[in-house]
Amino acid sequence: MNVAAVAPEGYRAVAGLAAYVKANVDPTLMHVIELRASIINGCSYCVDLHSRDALAAGEDSRRLFAVGAWEDAPFFTERERAALALTDSATRLGPGGVPDDVWDMAAKLFTEKELADLLLTIGTINVWNRITVPTRAEPPTTA
């Protein structure tokens, strides 16, 4: 299914949220959040898209490869680690929600506005993943 063709108004709304995030979140942080959530959700289309976008923006390939094992990798700042932990918890949202220690660390390192924008980033990529995985969107076979 092509959601953009079938429900163009809804698709534009999600695209508008993505445009807001892009304009308000540090690109480096946005890239690792988008990549991490897409890995968790098993979205090959978004993993491909966001890793290519990050590389084009100058991101280090070693950092991108390490997003899948970020907790053990030495490549991420304290703020990035807090954002990645929040991404993990909000993407895998369970009965207990986001653990207090994860939230408290993010709230300590980000302003309230930055934290709101991180949540919007996490929510937006999860919406995209939930569109592309069920519709079986595939990444292009050529770069």
Question: Domain spanning 3-132: which superfamily?
Answer: AhpD-like (1.20.1290.10)
Contact 38, 47 (CB under 8 A): yes
pTM recorded for the entire structure: 0.95
pLDDT in tens, 77-132: 999 999 999 999 999 999 999 999 999 999 999 999 999 999 999 999 999 999 99
Contact 41, 67 (CB under 8 A): no
pLDDT in tens, 47-79: 999 999 999 999 999 999 999 999 999 999 999
Q: Where are the domains of the chain?
A: 3-132
Residue 38 banded pLDDT, cuts 50, 70, 90: very high
